[in-house]
Amino acid sequence: MIIVPEREIGALMGRKESYQAVERVFAAMAAGDAYNFPVVREAIGHADALYGFKGGFDRAGMTLGLKAGGYWPNNLEAHGLINHQSTVFLFEPDTGRARAVVGGNLLTALRTAAASSVSINHLARKDAKVIGMVGAGHQATFQLRAALEQRGFGKVIGWNLHREMLPNIEKVATEAGLPFEAVDLPGMVEADVIITITSSFEPSLMSEHVSDGTHIACMGTDTIGKQEVATDLIARASVFTDEVAQAVTLGESQHAVAAGLKSEADIRQIGEVINGTHPGRASDNEVTLFDGTGVGLQDLAVASAVVDLAVQQGIAIEVDF
């Protein structure tokens, strides 16, 4: 069995490899070659922790396994550790033997940023120039860095409820040589692409904040009750997702579907666009929206790629197990 510790991931796995792994597995899901298992998420009644498993099997990539982990809200203060903790376990599909244990923390950020990047590449207008960020926390910096590689953006605008966090994303824009402007939410009308990545339970982005032709990647809502954008914006948009079953239950689409403003049948898998079985954006005026709920197969895809890279570079730790 192979171990790839968390500390090695940063040097092994880049945005390009993450993008390729996630795009490939989204395609496999839409082709019916890969599926996610039901998600388990439990409040364990200790350390205020939420803990769970996300697993799946990708027959095309021959990847079987699960990500185990969750959220320990007191980690930083009490233990000096980050609050989100996860580990990926991979198994040999032919035998069920354990193949690898891989640190999952950085991989989660890379695979989540890769998902919105895949959506921007396949759904945003080719001439998109202004990218708008709603959110400026830990994930937002990864999201922006990856998104900037998908189009010839010339400007970054950003809004965050807690304004003191905006320098996080301003720094990414500056590193990329782009001007950054802090805006109020109505200022988002200037954006051609918008990423929402907050932990909000109330909508921030309203339909009137979004111009025709914009692509929106909603990445923060991954739990029942969370919400980042208004339901009438979901109703107005052509909605794509990683997995329809998750989008309508715990993704950004959950509220619009519950209100009867969008039906499950209206929501398409992004993998269909990747595979060419759905045309994607229909016109330059259409608002497209990617509901990125986060599926276990994304974690397995990037973890499997990391294992291959670690073996190639001779830094995989092999144990007799």
- Is 291 one of the binding residues for ligand NAD (CB under 6 A)? no
Among 112, 241, 246, 269, binds ligand NAD (CB under 6 A): 112
- Is 253 one of the binding residues for ligand NAD (CB under 6 A)? no
Q: How far is the CB of 312 from ligand NAD (least distance, A)?
A: 27
The residue whose Cβ lies closest to ligand NAD is 137
Strands (E) in the chain, as ranges, are 2-4, 34-36, 40-43, 50-58, 63-71, 84-91, 98-103, 130-134, 155-159, 180-182, 193-196, 215-218, 238-241, 268-269, 288-291, 317-318
Give yes or no for a contact between 289 and 218, defined as CB atoms under 8 angstroms apart: yes
Among 220, 271, 280, 296, binds ligand NAD (CB under 6 A): 220
- Is 293 one of the binding residues for ligand NAD (CB under 6 A)? yes
**Residue 12 neighbours by CB distance under 10 Å:** 21
- Is 18 one of the binding residues for ligand NAD (CB under 6 A)? no
- Is 140 one of the binding residues for ligand NAD (CB under 6 A)? yes
Among 36, 86, 117, 139, binds ligand NAD (CB under 6 A): 139
- Is 196 one of the binding residues for ligand NAD (CB under 6 A)? no
Whether 67 sits among the annotated catalytic residues: the reply is: yes
**DSSP summary character for residue 122:** H
Among 160, 214, 254, 288, binds ligand NAD (CB under 6 A): 160
**Residue 245 neighbours by CB distance under 10 Å:** 15
Give yes or no for a contact between 307 and 100, defined as CB atoms under 8 angstroms apart: yes
Active-site hit among 67, 171, 226, 262? 67
Give yes or no for a contact between 141 and 11, defined as CB atoms under 8 angstroms apart: no
Tokens of 120: 């921007």
Positions marked catalytic:
67
What is the binding site for ligand NAD (CB under 6 A)? 108, 112, 135-140, 160-162, 165, 197-200, 202, 204, 219-220, 222, 292-294
